[in-house]
Structure 1
Amino acid sequence: MTEMDRDAMDRDRDVEILSKETVFKGYFQVDRYRLRHRTFAGGWSEEMVREVFERGHAVVVLLYDPDRDKVALIEQFRPGAYAAGWHPWLVECVAGIIEEGEHPDEVARRETREEAGSDPTDMIHIGDYLVTAGGSSESCKLYCARVDSSIIAGTHGLAHEGEDIRVFVIDPAEALAMCRDGRINNAMAVLAIQWLIMERDGLRARWLGA
């Protein structure tokens, strides 16, 4: 799809919602859509029925210490990984859901305090992406936060939310090695670490004035 094609496709004009109903509502929500959309050849697609998992939208925060050239990551239990037959304790970046009325920047700072026991001294917005657009509306807003890694350690999280989160500090090269050998196997952490490897020199120059 070219940029011209993308510009030509309009979200509201070229998608017709025939019906929408909530078929499940618990910790998360599932909505069922009946819809059709315009095709690249012209005309309209056949009617399709799709369930969409409504999880909300999230922030993801890569914690980086440019003074020591260290990355702080977290590890916690994930039921989705367990259900998929994978080892359910995943190495990740700090992350959290944006509640209605919250600003993503403040969510990023709050989650950094709750999950890593640290307050960012600076933070940049890297970009946004969809997690799994084929079946979920969830998007992630990705940040890199400047932290002091010398005081990051231990376990954190909110007990009333069932969180048991271990935080640890490693070299960026080791983080990349963990992505390569599968010790880090979730997309949000892999994306963030690969971004850091590409942009680390410029990021350190920005934050250290080098």
Structure 2
Amino acid sequence: MSDFSQQDVQILRREPGFRGFYQVDVLTLRHRLFAGGWGPELRRELFVRRDAVCVLPYDPWEDAVVLVEQMRVGALDKRASPWMLELVAGLFDEGESAEEVARREAQEEAGLELRELIPITRYFPSPGGSNEHVHLFCALVDSRGVGGIHGLAEEGEDIRVQVLSLAEARQALSDGRLDNAASIIALQWLLLNGRHVREQAGPRP
């Protein structure tokens, strides 16, 4: 862990850079140096966004995962198709807990009722320019009969739900078809811990 803390950064100015669906702030700051003293003034744009929850729904009795597919603007011009396979995910609303976000988004995006929620980790996906903090979970679900098109029409969501065996998901990970951070981290965790999760789940309720 670093010897430095929040007190070792001085924010000299914080100005609005952009306000739209998302927000960008322009910060002028300086921070202490490893060699001692203070560094020069730096101007940095910060992508300001609510924290997020991502959930890997896992059926331990079928050894299958539930993934969602939707168009992602960040993937335009970066891959053959901007439709990506991902975890169930969403942003915090004011006053919500991470568990409440997980259950709300699972219902909205996939028609899923989550059983046990297992915390995996929390992480910053891109701290060089964004303040987003992601809460990552695995959740036990019954995947039988799951599928179809979901999402909130008022939010422009068009989400297709897919159930993959864990072996199929492993292959998609190996092939690079699963190429977003939350999905990679969660599936790698499940591949390491799936046996324990299945043992703890016991017989199907």
TM-score by length of 2: 0.95
> Cα distance 1:193–1:110, how it changes in 2: closer, same or farther (>3 A)?
same
Match of 1:151, SS state, is coil
The aligned residue for residue 158 of structure 1 is 152
Count of residues paired in the alignment: 203
- Aligned-residue Cα RMSD (Å) equals 1.2
User: Quick one: distance in 2 between partners of 1:83 and 1:58?
Assistant: 25
Query: What does residue 71 of structure 1 align with?
Result: 65
Q: Does 1:130 align with 2:128?
A: no
Aligned pair partner of 1:34 in 17, 21, 28: 28
Instruction: Tell which deviates more after alignment, 180-189 or 89-98.
Output: 180-189
Secondary structure of the equivalent of 2:76? Answer: helix
Range that drifts further, 177-186 or 24-33: 177-186
Separation of aligned partners in 2, 1:176 and 1:20: 44
Match of 1:9 among 4, 9, 12: 4
Q: Secondary structure at the match of 2:121?
A: strand
> 1:49: Cα distance to partner?
0.3
- Call closer, same or farther: CA 1:132–1:86 in 2, change over 3 Å: farther
Return the offset for 1:103.
Answer: 1.0
> Is 2:177 the counterpart of 1:183?
yes
- The structural deviation recorded for 1:85 is 5.6
State the one-letter code of the partner of 2:5. Answer: D
- Structure 1 residues 200 and 118, CA gap change in structure 2 (3 angstroms): same
Q: Percent identity?
A: 48
Q: 1: distance between equivalents of 2:56 and 2:108?
A: 14
Q: Does 2:138 match 1:141?
A: no
The one of 166, 187, 191 aligned to 1:193: 187
Query: Following TM superposition, by how much is the alpha carbon of 1:151 offset from its aligned partner in structure 2, in angstroms?
Result: 2.3
Amino acid of the residue matched to residue 202 of structure 1? Answer: H
In structure 2, C-alpha distance between the alignment counterparts of 1:202 and 1:44, rounded to whole Å: 49
Q: C-alpha separation between the residues in 2 aligned to 1:17 and 1:149?
A: 49
| CA distance, structure 1, for counterparts of residue 202 and residue 35 of structure 2 | 52
For 2:145, the aligned partner's letter is I
Q: What SS does the corresponding residue of 2:105 show, helix, strand or coil?
A: helix
Structure 2: stretches of 5+ with no match in the other structure? none
The secondary structure found in structure 2 opposite 1:150 is coil
